[in-house]
Structure 1
């Protein structure tokens, strides 16, 4: 049986600790709710969604040789992911993410991805040592890149021969890390998946719509851009094409990870041969199902 993965997911693989309340919250709120710990991180969120579409992703990430890392990779493997290529550190702990969500959306979040940042290019070793590719025969399939990677590593990836033939899909992780993606704006195969705020940060302005933002990203050198604007609209733009759709109207019960679901569903649709309009529609449907609570965490 061919053990080559369908896609590489490179970036944060960690534990999500999420506190959710049905109450509207503000600074200093102390309300009842539920706290969960589930597998998360941008790269893992994308990979989990890809497995639901029947794909086999491989994780390139940094985890500690600790109980948290063992448990996380065991869950990932049970879901159908290839985990053998993950970098395991003897002296760095497994990363964590913590968020608080209320009825009025995300209140605050902290991403502790310091182990991923400190591991640096060690997570890319399988792409150069023959396991997944080499400088002479680089990986030629799709790659989901996570903006939790350092700016230096993203710059390295942008010019690396190891990614010369890859179909690169990029997620910023958060508005606070969106500027890290500037290194990939000129890459000929990089598709950016950002929200309206992140697009504005990359273009150093504000936008009134996803269509305006997507066109501006192309003007700044993006090979292709997908921009979401919550429940208002989403746009996919490439040279000579701009397509905008309105997401399904749903009751929002959670928001953390919705962008990752959108990106993964769009990638899966395209890998299955969907045309641009159909791929965008499937991504919006998947994200709507997720934020409404109709699909698993």
Structure 2
């Protein structure tokens, strides 16, 4: 690809290995189901969804120079993603993610993003002193950033003048990594996309509703926060006020990637000039289609 990307997606790109069953599961259960292996990772999930909306995303991530990395590169290029700026490591393997989903939701998941963390700032070279940005000409476009980067690197990005002019859209990747986004909360940088549990961890509190959580995030310094709560009320909060909507009721067949789909759809809607209310509705409708299985993985 030679055209400039519409948006940069920075963070994890890996292989998702997901086992799904229509049965309710408990710890230690052994049930029949289906196991799939598909491209995944927060940044890549966002990029793939943006691509379906006609945008040209570029990935900044780390992949190994192994068979898994080569295959993932080919898959992504076939999907129309710009992989020109991906860091390829000679000594780090391509990362992976494993999840088990039952009729009662996500049972367990393990994200092995150690190579991304080990690569560190090397994935940002095209932005720091390369084709996408330099100290005298920082990047000014949109960036979708995920919390799979190390806490130190995320803190650096939150303070760096090289990212000061970018439209940052930030997701924590998982509740276990939510507190890594604290520097963006303190610094009032970017738009945060979190679920109710992640909002509670960032605020060191517990919330019953998304509007309550979103309002508190703004009170604590967030420039803007979108908080989801499964099938319950979702909220978009900023200094301009709160907008809340309830997602459509659907039969849930998969949950992995739902938050990434929501975030990407919201970004795509706002890029088209939709209002806050319409963008939120579009994101909720798209995420509902994802979890119901209407959008193929």
Aligned length: 297
Give the conservation status (yes or no) of the 8 Å contact 1:94–1:115.
yes
Q: Tell me which residue corresponds to 2:195.
A: 195
Q: Give the match's secondary structure for 2:72.
A: helix
Q: Tell me which residue corresponds to 1:149.
A: 149
Q: Tell me which residue corresponds to 2:229.
A: 229
Deviation of 1:241 (Å):
1.3
CA–CA separation in structure 1 for the residues paired with 2:283 and 2:118:
33
Q: Tell me which residue corresponds to 1:29.
A: 29
Deviation of 1:240 (Å):
2.6
Q: Tell me which residue corresponds to 1:85.
A: 85
Listed one character per residue, the Cα deviations across residues 50-108 of structure 1 (whole Å, up to 9, x for unaligned) are 00100000000000001100110111111111101000000000000000000000000
Listed one character per residue, the Cα deviations across residues 254-281 of structure 1 (whole Å, up to 9, x for unaligned) are 0010000000000000011111000000
Q: Tell me which residue corresponds to 1:212.
A: 212
Deviation of 1:288 (Å):
0.2
Q: Give the match's secondary structure for 2:186.
A: coil
Deviation of 1:137 (Å):
0.6
CA–CA separation in structure 1 for the residues paired with 2:63 and 2:272:
31
CA–CA separation in structure 1 for the residues paired with 2:9 and 2:293:
24
Deviation of 1:30 (Å):
0.2
Give the conservation status (yes or no) of the 8 Å contact 1:100–1:108.
yes
Q: Tell me which residue corresponds to 2:61.
A: 61
Q: Give the match's secondary structure for 2:222.
A: coil
CA–CA separation in structure 1 for the residues paired with 2:129 and 2:152:
21
Deviation of 1:129 (Å):
1.9
Q: Give the match's secondary structure for 2:22.
A: coil
Give the conservation status (yes or no) of the 8 Å contact 1:290–1:296.
yes
Q: Give the match's secondary structure for 1:185.
A: helix
Q: Which runs of 5+ in 1 are unaligned?
A: none
CA–CA separation in structure 1 for the residues paired with 2:189 and 2:118:
27
Listed one character per residue, the Cα deviations across residues 147-168 of structure 1 (whole Å, up to 9, x for unaligned) are 1111000001011122010000
- List aligned pairs for 1:1-297, cutoff 5 A: 3-297=3-297
Listed one character per residue, the Cα deviations across residues 123-178 of structure 1 (whole Å, up to 9, x for unaligned) are 00000223101111111011000111110000010111220100000011000000
CA–CA separation in structure 2 for the residues paired with 1:226 and 1:29:
35
Give the conservation status (yes or no) of the 8 Å contact 1:186–1:223.
no
Q: Which runs of 5+ in 2 are unaligned?
A: none
Deviation of 1:2 (Å):
6.6
Deviation of 1:189 (Å):
4.0
Deviation of 1:187 (Å):
3.5
Q: Give the match's secondary structure for 1:216.
A: helix
Q: Give the match's secondary structure for 2:126.
A: helix
